């Protein structure tokens, strides 16, 4: 048995991104604790809101959760920019993470627009 959201490519990509992000972060030592916590919560929020939204019955409810997931995606981008500005992550790490988030964001926008 599987849940519907597990078959969504955007869910799989969001999970992969979260795992990669946590792996990158595990190698860093000089990260502000509150910023790290915010980043982790936002990355997990993307995955959880995709899952929760897929379980809703109304199009409006689904769209709302996918919109929240997209907002969390933007939040993660902003924190990654801050980590790059603070020289915690390299330009290469930032670019790779950014690219994956851009894909997730576009996929979420497609889902959101399909539910209007």
Q: Which residues of 5-37 are buried (b: 16+ CB within 10 A; e: fewer)?
A: beebebbebbbebbeebeebbeeeeebeeeeee
Q: Which pLDDT belongs to residue 30?
A: 80
> What span, in angstroms and rounded, lies between the C-alpha atoms of 115 and 88?
39
CB 4 within 8 A of CB 55: yes
pTM of the model: 0.96
DSSP H or E run through 65: helix 59-85
Domain boundaries, position 17? 4-114
Residues of the chain with pLDDT under 50: none
CATH number of the CATH domain containing 49: 1.20.1440.60
> What span, in angstroms and rounded, lies between the C-alpha atoms of 98 and 20?
12
- Which one, of 78, 82, 104, 86, lies nearest residue 20 by Cα? 104
Structural domains of the chain, count = 1
């Amino acid at each position: 048995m599987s849940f519907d959201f597990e078959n969504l490519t955007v869910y799989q990509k969001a999970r992969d991104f979260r795992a990669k992000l946590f792996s990158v972060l595990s190698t860093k030592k000089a990260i502000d604790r509150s910023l790290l916590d915010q980043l982790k919560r936002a990355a997990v929020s993307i995955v959880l809101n995709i899952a929760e939204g897929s379980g809703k019955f109304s199009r409006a409810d689904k769209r709302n959760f996918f919109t929240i997931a997209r907002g969390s995606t933007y939040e993660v981008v902003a924190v990654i920019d801050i980590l790059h500005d603070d020289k915690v992550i390299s330009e290469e790490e930032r670019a790779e993470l950014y690219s994956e988030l851009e894909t997730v964001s576009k996929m979420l926008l497609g889902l959101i627009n399909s539910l209007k």
